[in-house]
Amino acid sequence: MISLTLILVVMTSLISYQAFNNPAMMQQLTFRPALIKQNGEFYRFLTSGFVHGSWSHLLINMFVLYQFGEFMEGFFSFIFGPGIGKIVYIIFYLSAIIIASIPTYFRYQDNFAYGAVGASGATSALIFGYILYDPWQWFIFPPLPALILGVGYLFYSSYMDKKGTDNIGHNAHFWGAVYGLLFTIVSIVAMKPDMLNEIMGRLMAGPGAFGG
């Protein structure tokens, strides 16, 4: 059975590809706070997560989505059960796109020159949901434990956000990460609170105990 994560990867890639070749479509789907405020185009909170600024931007986000999304999809299925878990996963992913963009909306709501695209908020939420569960798991590429990879990801996002040289929603990375942590913690507390001891034990054990 095809995973929801793979469906999201294919859907996002197809929409982004179409937008690459259709500037009008790109402009229509881009996150533009001033137009949202002026015209009530609230759909942009969500559609901006399905278009990207470049091929490299798309490939990086889809790599992250597939790598961490497959795990989180299974994680929510374990927490909530196979049926409800799939629904929770989709809600988690889509709401992360929206919620991660809210601070940016208030920051740029009067700036008609500002626009942003990308699944940054959702991918950050996935990364930090995973990090909460297994912070010291090592990855082959890049060769770093999950916690270090996540922190570096946020530093890079902060740097690029301050640099402001592209239309990628780097600020959403941070808020997506916060949302991912909170959503995952609340899910565990609500459904399987005993897991909190296991998670805390993994974190305190350090990088030598897991995945090394």
| Secondary structure (H, E, C), 78-90 | HHHCHHHHHHHHH
pLDDT in tens, the chain (212 residues): 899 999 999 999 999 999 999 999 999 999 999 999 999 999 999 999 999 999 998 998 999 899 899 999 999 999 999 999 999 999 999 999 999 999 999 999 999 999 999 998 999 999 999 999 888 888 766 788 888 888 887 787 778 777 766 656 677 888 999 999 999 999 999 999 999 888 888 888 777 654 44
Superfamily of domain 4-205: Rhomboid-like (1.20.1540.10)
pTM of the model: 0.89
What residue spans define the domains of the chain? 4-205
The answer to whether the beta carbons of residues 150 and 157 sit under 8 Å apart is: no
- Under the phi-then-psi rule, with left for phi > 0, alpha for psi from -120 to 50, and beta for the rest, what region is 116? beta
Residue count of the chain? 212
Give the whole-angstrom CA distance, residue 48 versus residue 120: 10
